[in-house]
Amino acid sequence: MLEYLTLILACQLVGEFAVSAAAVPVPGPVVGMILLFVFLLIKGSVPEQLANVSSGLLNNLSLMFVPAGVGVMVHFEVLGNDALPISVALVTSTLLTIAVTALLMNFLNTKRVDSSNAKVQGDE
């Protein structure tokens, strides 16, 4: 179990180093998550112990938001000064995410229905 927690943290660390070395504007943990994903693709499945470790982390995910909440409270005045641009960015990104998700779901469902119809017609 400890080796899989170490694997998760090592992937994050490698991601941080890669981002620092390449000077790309991507968070290190995102690169680390991609590395972990590639590892799992190569392995072909998620090991049971890794699933247990990740479940434990996900069950306590709310604790990860405590530092962000503290940061919001510490910088509340700065956020208040920039409330309009922050609000516009939040609303715009939320609406854009909903629209892209809806379009993607519509596209994927149409492809799935088309392929199902093709199988049914081919069976006749």
Residue-wise pLDDT tens digits, 27-69: 888 999 999 999 999 989 899 999 999 998 889 888 888 888 8
Contacts of 39 (CB under 8 A, 6+ apart): 7, 11
Residue 43 vs residues 33, 39, 46, 66: alpha-carbon distances, Å: 15, 6, 8, 34
In 3D space, the residue among 19, 48, 47 whose CA is nearest the CA of residue 33 turns out to be 19
Tell me the average pLDDT of the chain.
Answer: 87
